[in-house]
């Protein structure tokens, strides 16, 4: 239920923001402006608006696909707090890293979505993922390791890419931390899966 509610709220706010640059400007996270105007609410609101339809659809399809299982596993209240907390953490990191960059702006649910994805993979280490243009399933734990390596590299080498790789990386790490807090034994099961012992 919370998963569906988040999708509806995010879609509604994103579509509302599509209609006006002023609305987008008000709710997007701009670190340089946040320091000046003290509009701290953008640390959260930026996670509920998107740049365009493709950005919105990609994030919400991924969120819904994995969010349902995670919400069922951890319960709706923990799920909601985790998702909102992950958006806030990734936004704070983006804010602090880009304090002096007057051109930097970020928006979208990617940090929260990555958190949900990684927590789900840890709770269900036997799951497989299907990616666009790749016709075979990818084991979730293999995807997780490769994705972490890629985002770690990209977050340090993508100053002008227009993609907030920091949000992806830290969102994923929040998902790992969340799963470990709820079940400290989960890491041994995942390692067993990676090493082929399970």
Report d(CA 92, CA 119) in Å as an integer.
20
**Alpha carbon 56 to chain centroid distance?**
12
Is the pTM above the cut of 0.85?
yes
Q: Where are the domains of the chain?
A: 1-196
Q: Which CATH number fits domain 1-196: 3.40.50.720, 1.10.1060.10, 1.20.1540.10, 2.60.40.650?
A: 1.20.1540.10
Task: Please name every residue paired with 69 in a beta bridge, in sequence order, or none if there are none.
Answer: none
Q: Is the pLDDT of residue 6 over 60?
A: yes
Q: Is the pLDDT of residue 145 over 90?
A: no
Residue whose pair of structure tokens reads 């002008």 in the numeric block = 160
Per-residue tokens: 143? 């995807």
Task: Spell out where the chain has E strands.
Answer: 128-129, 138-139
Phi, psi of 138 (to 5 degrees): -110, 125
Position 194 scores a pLDDT of 66
């Amino acid at each position: 239920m919370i998963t569906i509610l988040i999708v509806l709220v995010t879609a509604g706010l994103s579509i509302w923001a599509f209609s006006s640059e002023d609305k987008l400007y008000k709710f997007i996270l701009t670190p340089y402006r946040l320091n000046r105007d003290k509009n701290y609410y953008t640390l959260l609101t930026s996670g509920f608006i998107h740049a365009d339809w493709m950005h919105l659809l990609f994030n919400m399809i991924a969120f819904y696909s994995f969010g349902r299982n995670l919400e069922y596993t951890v319960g709706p209240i923990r799920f909601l707090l985790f998702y909102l907390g992950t958006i806030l953490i990734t936004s704070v990191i983006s804010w602090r890293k880009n304090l002096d960059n007057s051109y930097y702006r970020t928006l979208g649910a990617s940090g929260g979505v990555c958190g949900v994805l990684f927590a789900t993979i840890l709770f269900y280490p036997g799951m497989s993922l299907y990616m666009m243009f790749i016709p075979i399933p990818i084991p979730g734990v293999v995807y997780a390791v490769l994705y972490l390596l890629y985002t770690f590299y990209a977050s340090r080498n993508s100053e002008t890419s227009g993609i907030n790789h920091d949000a992806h990386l830290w969102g994923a790490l929040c998902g790992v931390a969340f799963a470990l807090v709820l079940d400290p034994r989960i890491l041994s099961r995942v390692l067993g899966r990676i090493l082929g012992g399970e």
